[in-house]
């Protein structure tokens, strides 16, 4: 590997100095290292959040959690890794230490580790088991080591650096090759800190951790390891949302550095760690395809989190969705209709090695490059026969730098050229999951453009409409998206259930927790439903009768009789409105109109893309008479800034008619906000014996 790299760099250097007759153009701007190229070719891999938080129902542990909690009775790394492999994932990254500071390997840097956990009598090592399972099954292993450590007494002081460096060294020196190390950007704040229970801020993370030194150490220990984060001193960084998408156009060249992006997201809406009752919140394969197209399909990589539960096993619902997305991805990539197509270019090639035919030869290294000075060069493709496709894939030869700014694709349909991918214009930006019908901006490692409608043609034309230097394109592919059924959105407004309709599908639903089938009631119009419970709905394809994935809505108590003095927006069943209180601590009291058992509550932070006032520390009190209050829960809503999802807290079940919610602390801004609260009774077992009776009643 190193040898090849050396030869390549010498060749590139010689070429750029003009010492050799130019068979290929000189590199433009920064170029990736071989390790960065290898990393981009991995496309997608798993994130595994699994630690004490799995057992505490938290997203961020405070640092005082007992290591005794970690005891995943059925954990078997090989089964988990086998699932990733079956899905087509190329690696996994494990959270060896999250913000709470508990280490999942027998580190010598702290006693807050797996050595104190009952699992395998304190002799266990989750890092080792995952690393070995990956090596055996042939996927790559990487590690996440949170810089923030809410347990360590030395955090925020000089002493912690030593602890942290030691942890990095242990992970990089004892577990074989590490393909990527992840340095989370969440740093500083309150925590246990050896009992101090205070707030510690570190100022500049780059200075505090001395990331320049960290990067040097890592390069020495594992030269092939991709460094994620580290204040942009690494090789790759955050895609910008924890929904998984990255913004497009995407440039890997930042100044004189090649910096890559990774879209990150959990497969389950419940969060990064496993949470009780999350089965109904798994993302559908169709949603995952959108995540894939808006990360990998925009030139980044995708890291998709799949979290083991308290037994140490992946939830069946997560696995099902992961595997069916994996199968759909495989199907999408299985056939390239442009492979072997005849080509002709508008310009002479740069050299005889860079002819247009390299675009359809299935070789990712060879590339088409027109001669210098070609303006808007284009290539026509003649397929052997008419084919139907709806996804266009292009790849640049990134070893020569990223060049293309915009491109256009046309297809000949009924003897007319039709533009199927419009060239992108400067200043435009694609974000979110809006992937259908996207324009042609950057290419980079690869771009996937999903057309609004399938196209049938045997004659296509690619035009590079703007490029920073003569374009070097390695592949032009035509793919077909497999059919994937979406799931219907369900919502309750007041006491009425609404299920999202779509002309192409019939809708079946249940309200007793059972899985809907074509024998379940058919949804025709909004349905009255005022009790707590689990509503499920599914689409059935009108054409072929197939059923899609099931949507689940876990409903709390009806809120139509709730009364308060001005906090209605916090329980109006509208995620887009929010209660605005004064500066924290600020509270409101709700009279629920009747006494009922409260066993859990959920909080939704504001959803309007601002973090101002998001309540990140709360207290919930309950009362039967509105005068005497008992505290039911107090704690933290974590990670709201990066991932503002609905968070559910279980409490000791208690009868109450009134509740008082206090926002103890808030992010940013002056006042506090709450988008929505729900209160729940104790969960019944999902498939109850009285299921049939209930169905008959309707």
**Site residues for ligand FUL per CB under 6 A:** 59-60, 184-186, 264, 272, 639, 642
Tell me if 162 sits within 8 A of 149, measured CB to CB. no
8 Cβ neighbours under 8 A, 6+ residues apart: 34, 399
Spell 149-186 as b/e; 16+ CB within 10 A means b: bbbbbbbbeeebeebbbebbebbbeebeebbbbbbbbb
Q: Closer CB to ligand FUL, residue 59 or residue 405?
A: 59
What Rg value do the Cα atoms of the chain yield, rounded? Answer: 27
Q: Closer CB to ligand FUL, residue 164 or residue 509?
A: 164
- Closest distance to ligand FUL from the beta carbon of 242 (Å): 6
Q: Closer CB to ligand FUL, residue 569 or residue 642?
A: 642
- Where does residue 640 fall: left (phi above 0), alpha (psi -120 to 50 degrees), or beta otherwise? alpha
Beta-sheet strand order (sheet of 490-493): 490-493, 496-499, 527-528
- Where does residue 203 fall: left (phi above 0), alpha (psi -120 to 50 degrees), or beta otherwise? left
- Closest distance to ligand FUL from the beta carbon of 311 (Å): 21
Q: Closer CB to ligand FUL, residue 185 or residue 671?
A: 185
Task: Calculate ∠ Cα 163-133-178, nearest 5°.
Answer: 45
Task: Calculate ∠ Cα 693-696-698, nearest 5°.
Answer: 120
Q: Closer CB to ligand FUL, residue 405 or residue 616?
A: 616
Q: Closer CB to ligand FUL, residue 306 or residue 404?
A: 306
Length of the chain: 698
- Closest distance to ligand FUL from the beta carbon of 272 (Å): 4
Cα gap 553→575, rounded to integer Å: 14
Q: Closer CB to ligand FUL, residue 264 or residue 286?
A: 264
Cα gap 649→221, rounded to integer Å: 42
**Of 444, 482, 53, 436, which is closest to residue 275 (Cα–Cα)?**
53
- Closest distance to ligand FUL from the beta carbon of 661 (Å): 24
- Closest distance to ligand FUL from the beta carbon of 182 (Å): 8
- Closest distance to ligand FUL from the beta carbon of 575 (Å): 22
- Closest distance to ligand FUL from the beta carbon of 233 (Å): 18
Cα gap 593→590, rounded to integer Å: 9
- Closest distance to ligand FUL from the beta carbon of 266 (Å): 8
Percent helix, strand, coil in the chain (nearest 5)?
Answer: 20, 35, 45
Could you identify the residue written with the tokens 């395998």? 120
Q: Closer CB to ligand FUL, residue 264 or residue 636?
A: 264
610 Cβ neighbours under 8 A, 6+ residues apart: none
Tell me if 505 sits within 8 A of 485, measured CB to CB. yes
- Closest distance to ligand FUL from the beta carbon of 539 (Å): 31
- Closest distance to ligand FUL from the beta carbon of 184 (Å): 5
Tokens found for residue 223: 């030269």
449 Cβ neighbours under 8 A, 6+ residues apart: 297, 391, 392, 393, 409, 421, 438, 439, 440
342 Cβ neighbours under 8 A, 6+ residues apart: 357, 381, 382
| CB-based closest residue to ligand FUL | 186
**Of 623, 564, 624, which is closest to residue 588 (Cα–Cα)?**
564
Q: Closer CB to ligand FUL, residue 272 or residue 505?
A: 272
- Closest distance to ligand FUL from the beta carbon of 29 (Å): 30
- Closest distance to ligand FUL from the beta carbon of 147 (Å): 11
Q: Closer CB to ligand FUL, residue 186 or residue 196?
A: 186
Q: Closer CB to ligand FUL, residue 186 or residue 333?
A: 186
- Where does residue 249 fall: left (phi above 0), alpha (psi -120 to 50 degrees), or beta otherwise? beta
- Closest distance to ligand FUL from the beta carbon of 186 (Å): 4
Q: Closer CB to ligand FUL, residue 264 or residue 390?
A: 264
Tell me if 314 sits within 8 A of 434, measured CB to CB. no
Q: Closer CB to ligand FUL, residue 184 or residue 646?
A: 184
Cα gap 370→379, rounded to integer Å: 10
Q: Closer CB to ligand FUL, residue 28 or residue 160?
A: 160
- Closest distance to ligand FUL from the beta carbon of 270 (Å): 13
Concatenate the DSSP letters of all residues of 115-174 into one string: GGSTGGGGT--HHHHHHHHHHHHT-EEEEEE-S--SS-TTTTSHHHHHHHHHHHHHHHHH
């Amino acid at each position: 590997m190193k040898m090849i790299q050396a030869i390549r760099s010498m060749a590139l250097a010689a070429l750029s100095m003009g010492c050799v007759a130019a068979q290929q153009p000189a590199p433009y701007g920064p170029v990736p290292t071989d390790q960065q190229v290898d990393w981009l070719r991995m496309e997608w891999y798993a994130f595994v959040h699994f630690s004490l938080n799995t057992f505490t129902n938290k997203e961020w542990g405070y640092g005082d959690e007992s290591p005794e909690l970690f005891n995943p009775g059925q954990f078997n790394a090989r089964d988990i890794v086998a699932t990733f492999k079956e899905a087509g994932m190329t690696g996994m990254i494990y959270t060896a230490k999250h913000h709470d500071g508990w280490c999942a390997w027998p580190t010598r840097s702290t006693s807050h580790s797996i050595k104190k956990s009952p699992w395998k009598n304190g002799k266990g090592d989750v890092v080792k088991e995952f690393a070995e399972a990956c090596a055996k099954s042939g996927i790559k292993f990487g590690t996440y080591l949170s810089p923030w450590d809410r347990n360590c007494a030395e955090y925020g002081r000089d002493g912690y650096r030593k602890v942290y460096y030691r942890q990095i060294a242990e992970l990089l020196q004892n577990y074989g090759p590490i393909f990527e190390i992840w340095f989370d950007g969440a740093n500083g704040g309150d925590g246990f800190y050896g009992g101090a229970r205070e707030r510690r801020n570190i100022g500049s993370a780059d200075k505090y951790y001395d990331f320049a030194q960290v990067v040097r150490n890592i390069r020495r220990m594992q030269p092939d390891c991709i460094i994620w984060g580290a204040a942009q001193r690494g090789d790759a960084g955050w895609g910008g949302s924890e929904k998984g998408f990255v913004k497009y156009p995407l440039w890997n060249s930042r100044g004189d550095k090649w910096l890559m992006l990774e879209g990150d997201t959990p497969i389950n809406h419940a969060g990064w760690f496993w949470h009780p009752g999350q089965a109904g919140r798994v993302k559908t394969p169709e949603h995952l395809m959108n995540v894939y197209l808006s990360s990998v399909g925009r030139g980044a990589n995708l890291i998709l989190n799949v979290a083991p539960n308290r037994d140490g096993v992946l939830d069946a619902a997560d696995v099902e969705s992961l595997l069916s997305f994996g199968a759909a991805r495989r199907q999408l990539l299985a056939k390239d209709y442009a492979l072997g197509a005849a080509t002709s270019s508008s310009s002479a090639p740069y050299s005889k090695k860079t002819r247009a035919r390299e675009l359809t030869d299935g070789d990712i290294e060879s590339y088409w490059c027109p001669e210098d000075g070609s303006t808007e060069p284009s290539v026509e493709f003649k397929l052997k026969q008419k084919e139907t496709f709806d996804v266009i894939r292009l790849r640049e030869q990134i070893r020569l730098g990223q060049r293309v700014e915009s491109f256009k694709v046309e297809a000949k349909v009924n003897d007319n050229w039709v533009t199927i991918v419009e060239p992108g214009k400067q200043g435009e930006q694609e974000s979110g999951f809006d992937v259908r019908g996207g324009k042609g901006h950057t290419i980079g490692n690869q771009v996937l453009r999903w057309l609004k409608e399938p196209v049938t043609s045997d004659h296509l034309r690619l035009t590079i409409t703007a490029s920073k230097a003569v374009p070097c394109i390695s592949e032009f592919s035509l793919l077909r998206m497999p059919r994937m059924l979406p799931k219907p959105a369900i919502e309750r407004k007041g006491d009425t259930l609404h299920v999202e309709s779509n002309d192409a599908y019939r809708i079946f639903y249940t309200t007793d927790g059972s899985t809907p089938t074509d024998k379940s009631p058919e949804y025709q119009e909004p349905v009255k439903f005022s009790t707590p419970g689990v509503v499920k709905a599914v689409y059935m394809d009108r054409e072929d009768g197939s059923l899609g994935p099931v949507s689940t809505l876990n409903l709390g108590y009806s809120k139509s009789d709730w009364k308060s003095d001005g906090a209605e927006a916090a329980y109006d069943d509208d995620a887009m409105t929010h209660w605005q209180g004064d500066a924290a601590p600020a509270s409101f009291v709700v009279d629920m109109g009747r006494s009922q058992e409260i066993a859990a509550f959920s909080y939704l932070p504001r959803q309007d893309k601002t973090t101002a006032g998001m309540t990140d520390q709360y207290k919930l009190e309950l009362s039967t008479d509105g005068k005497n209050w008992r505290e039911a829960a107090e704690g933290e809503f974590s990670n709201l800034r990066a991932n503002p999802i609905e968070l559910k807290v279980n409490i000791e079940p208690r009868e109450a008619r009134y509740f008082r919610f206090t926002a103890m602390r808030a992010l940013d801004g002056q006042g506090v906000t709450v988008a929505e609260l729900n209160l729940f009774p104790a969960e019944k077992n999902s498939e109850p014996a009285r299921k049939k009776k209930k169905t008959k009643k309707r």
